[in-house]
Structure 1
Amino acid sequence: MTSNNPIGQGDGADQGPPTWAAPGSAPDAAPGPPEGWSAVPTPAVPGAWPVPGPPAGYPAPGYGPVGHSPVGYGPVGYGPAGYGGHPVPGWGSLNPMLMHKPGILPLRPLNVGDVLSAAFTAIRNAPRVYFGLVLLMQLFTLLVCVVIALAVAAVAFGSNFDNSLAELLLGVGAGGFVLVSTTVSGMCAGILAYPLNQQAVGRRPGLGETWRMTRGRIPAFLGFVGLMVVGWVALLIPTVAVFVAAAVAQEPAVVVVAVLVVVATMVLSVWLAVRISLSLPALFTERLGPVAAVRRSWTLTDRLFWRTLGNLALMYLVVAVIQWVIQFGFQMLAVIVILVDNGSESNGAMVATISIYLLGMILAIVLTQPFMAVTTAVLHLDSRTRKDGFDLDLGQVAAEVAAGQHTDGWPPLSRNVAPAFPHGQPVPPSPYPGRYPQP
């Protein structure tokens, strides 16, 4: 008699459940499972948990023959269960972007150790670019100041100037050199941001390439210098006025007010200096104008003030110690020259003394200026990573450099920032949180 009942079910009370047999055994080797359940596969390794099967009449998807590990799960005994044999995230797995370092620094937000390490590594890998550029610009500055001083002396005094006039001329020339040298140092801080960005993607730019790619930004830099002079003068005028009023009045209350104003001005000056400290790298590498570079620095240091201040203060401390050691040695040499001259303060001794001071100053600047410039450039790049996701740009360009592209240089402009939306301005919602939409 033929039964229409489903396979595995009896058609009467006199029939019991079907007999289930394990593969390779006799039919009556083991009793069958309850109705509606398929056989439970034998664990591949003792101690593994059995997995219940699907309802009767349906194949068991994802499971191979008995005795093998279930398909889709990692081997038993190799850490926590995952998919495709990979461990669950958070159990020893590493984010590859955290380890990605195509150049001198990792493409991720940096800590203090990363900033210092990147500064020293960049200079060690390209000393001709960093030290050579600073040395050439400082020597050019010194040459220009000497020529101007000699021209002024020839026009004003001719050959009729005595020892005191010579000393005055040398003193004014040294002061003018300090001012001009400070301006040139600021320009170097912006120019040296270019090789740092190239080294971040695995390139090693030369001195000629660095100058070629940044010389067009010098007019914008001069505009930035003028903007800074106007700003600092406007900040100091009220302070000087209060201080002069206190000196004239000689009243205790006015003196106290003057002291408080001076302290407040100093604190405000430090705060403003930190907020605009990234202006020069932005001006030279992002090709912004003077005002736009200041706004850019203000945006990049937003909510990163203390971090920026700490890194700059640490590098300033290191640089100050190095400069003091170098200049102290040259000061001792100048004292020796004066002692050899028996303190007569002759023209030759004075010229030699001031020349030694200037030489020590130039050497100290050449040996320390690159460290400050690179530290500022690293902080600018790190702030771009935190604010704009600039690590994505660096990673993409690093891959292109590895493929043989950008042999003539790479302008470090962000590809993730739409040019239609200026920095610091609100933009429409983006599918990539924290980043501007693609242009």
Structure 2
Amino acid sequence: MSDSNESLTSGSSAWNWGNSEAPTGGYGQFNTGSWQNPAGTPQTGDPAGGATFPSPAPVPPQPASASPTGYPNPNGAPQPGGAQFGAAQPNPYFDQYALNFQQVQPGIIPLRPLNLGEIFNGTFSAMRQAPAVMFGLILSIWAVFAVFSGILTALAFPDLTVTEQQLNNTTDGTVFLKLFSEIMQGSIISMIPSAFIQLIASGVTTGIAVTAIAPMVLGRRLSVTETWQETKPHLPLMIGYAFLYSFISLAIYAFAFSPLLMLIPGVTNEDFGMVFASMGLTLLTMFGALFIWAFIYVRLLFVYPAMVMENLGLKKAMARSWKLAKGSFWRLFGIMLLALVLQNVILTGLSFVVQLITGGVTAATLATGTSNYGLIMGITMALSSLIAGVFIPFFSGIQSLLYIDVRMRREGLALSLLRAAQQD
């Protein structure tokens, strides 16, 4: 839809939830009293299409046990302003004193601002409810990319095996350092094609996960075919953004370690003052780069959801994400940091499995009298790529639900979602 006043409908544009401005009458904030209209005046900025809420006629105070909506009035007195919301015009979602919000949850999350537990629970619920998409389709794509990545790594630099054998047989320190340097350079170069493949896989599968999660907020579930059809129009921009963000990250990393360039002339000229200055400056730039990365990461957190749910281009999606995340840095950063900690805990166990497999391959090749360094690297790269795909549904779910949460808090999106849910 083009703005927040249009209803959410099914079909190809079902999840274009629009770019609405923050309402002026407190709508979208589910705190005490924010949904009542005690003065009986029309509300401006109502995201429900400018609808006004008339003030019902005053009614006598009700005792706690006689509340017409089933919610007690703890004070036994009428709400200030004289308007007892729900008395003359009962509302099935709010009590007459607007003190208790009756949870409306047609899908994986309640239609109100979310807390931390509800964001994570909604993400896991999405993964459970749509395993064919969240695991079957996404992991299948990552498996294909992982195989290609492993083959390219194994075949791109076959001379690594020879170099590695020479390294094991030498006792000359100078030759050892030279061969070790060649192996490190070859390993880094061999990762370049795999990195490109992973970026493509990341853009594609993140888009798929966001597309699948969006309708589950309203209790609707897309099939694998429907999810793919909804995702296809956005794939070029998503892949482009994956590459753009990686270049931004590389620029930040380059800034972080740029003072290390001073080490070369410092060591060559035995200038230890320059060496220590290089190390000190590197620590400072690393801290600065970490802050810059975290800030940019949070401000661009909603690019993928904005592309899918609002049908925005790359530039507009980045601007939209930058605006939505403004003022919520620490909350968003804390939640994503917690998600990263959980990922690392799981990744530790999965990495142990990878080490067992590569260790077995290494032992098998050594048993034949030779070692195939390229093959070992290829298997390691393939398994690492596949493991990276496991976390795509989890992180995409957190991103998507945080995006919806921010919009419910700031733009009253909950009302539009509620109307869409009632249409089913």
> Same fold, TM exceeding 0.5?
yes
Q: Which consecutive unaligned segments of at least 5 residues does structure 1 have?
A: 1-70, 403-439
**Of the candidates 369, 376, 385, which is equivalent to residue 399 of structure 2?**
376
Aligned match of 2:142: 138
Distance change >3 Å, CA 334–CA 395, structure 1 → 2: same
**Of the candidates 119, 126, 133, which is equivalent to residue 130 of structure 2?**
126
Superposition deviation, residue 93 in structure 1: 5.6
1:359-398 equivalences under 5 Å are 360-398=383-421
Aligned match of 2:8: none
Whole-Å separation in 2 of the counterparts to 1:190 and 1:308: 20
Moved more, 71-80 or 188-197: 71-80
Correspondence 1:109 to 2:127? no
Superposition deviation, residue 123 in structure 1: 0.3
Distance change >3 Å, CA 339–CA 242, structure 1 → 2: closer
Superposition deviation, residue 313 in structure 1: 1.0
Whole-Å separation in 2 of the counterparts to 1:151 and 1:332: 23
Aligned match of 1:256: 280
1:77-116 equivalences under 5 Å are 78=65, 80=76, 94-96=100-102, 99-116=103-120
- Give a deviation string over 1:8-61, Cα, whole Å, max 9, x none: xxxxxxxxxxxxxxxxxxxxxxxxxxxxxxxxxxxxxxxxxxxxxxxxxxxxxx
**3-state SS of the aligned residue for 1:106?**
coil
Superposition deviation, residue 246 in structure 1: 5.3
Correspondence 1:306 to 2:330? yes
1:28-427 equivalences under 5 Å are 73=60, 78=65, 80=76, 94-96=100-102, 99-145=103-149, 163-164=161-162, 176-245=193-262, 247-249=264-266, 250-251=273-274, 252-342=276-366, 346=370, 353-354=376-377, 356-358=379-381, 360-400=383-423, 402=424
Contact 1:130 1:370 in 2 (8 A): yes
- Give a deviation string over 1:236-289, Cα, whole Å, max 9, x none: 554444331355344244542342122211221122112212212212322222
Whole-Å separation in 1 of the counterparts to 2:161 and 2:142: 28
Q: Percent identity?
A: 22
Whole-Å separation in 2 of the counterparts to 1:337 and 1:147: 15
Asked which structure has the greater CA Rg, the reply is: 1
Moved more, 292-301 or 353-362: 353-362
Whole-Å separation in 2 of the counterparts to 1:143 and 1:107: 41
Structure-2-length-normalised TM-score? 0.65
Contact 2:343 2:391 in 1 (8 A): yes
Moved more, 286-295 or 298-307: 286-295
Whole-Å separation in 2 of the counterparts to 1:218 and 1:271: 26
Moved more, 257-266 or 177-186: 177-186
Aligned match of 2:179: none
Contact 2:156 2:190 in 1 (8 A): no
Whole-Å separation in 1 of the counterparts to 2:112 and 2:323: 19
Contact 1:330 1:360 in 2 (8 A): yes
Distance change >3 Å, CA 149–CA 117, structure 1 → 2: closer
Contact 1:323 1:365 in 2 (8 A): no
Matched residue type, 1:387? R
Superposition deviation, residue 182 in structure 1: 4.0
* Equivalences, count: 322
Matched residue type, 2:407? R
Distance change >3 Å, CA 165–CA 289, structure 1 → 2: farther
Matched residue type, 1:301? A
Distance change >3 Å, CA 345–CA 382, structure 1 → 2: farther
More helix by share: 2
Matched residue type, 2:293? S
Distance change >3 Å, CA 392–CA 339, structure 1 → 2: same
Distance change >3 Å, CA 152–CA 178, structure 1 → 2: closer
Superposition deviation, residue 354 in structure 1: 4.2
**3-state SS of the aligned residue for 2:391?**
helix
Structure-1-length-normalised TM-score? 0.63
Distance change >3 Å, CA 145–CA 292, structure 1 → 2: same
The structure, 1 or 2, with the larger RCO (C-alpha pairs under 8 Å, 6+ apart) is: 2
Whole-Å separation in 1 of the counterparts to 2:414 and 2:121: 18
Contact 2:149 2:378 in 1 (8 A): no
Matched residue type, 2:241? F
Distance change >3 Å, CA 172–CA 164, structure 1 → 2: farther
Contact 1:145 1:173 in 2 (8 A): no
Q: Which runs of 4+ in 1 moved over 6 A?
A: 74-77, 88-92, 149-153, 165-171
Superposition deviation, residue 310 in structure 1: 1.1
Contact 2:307 2:317 in 1 (8 A): yes
Whole-Å separation in 2 of the counterparts to 1:254 and 1:152: 35
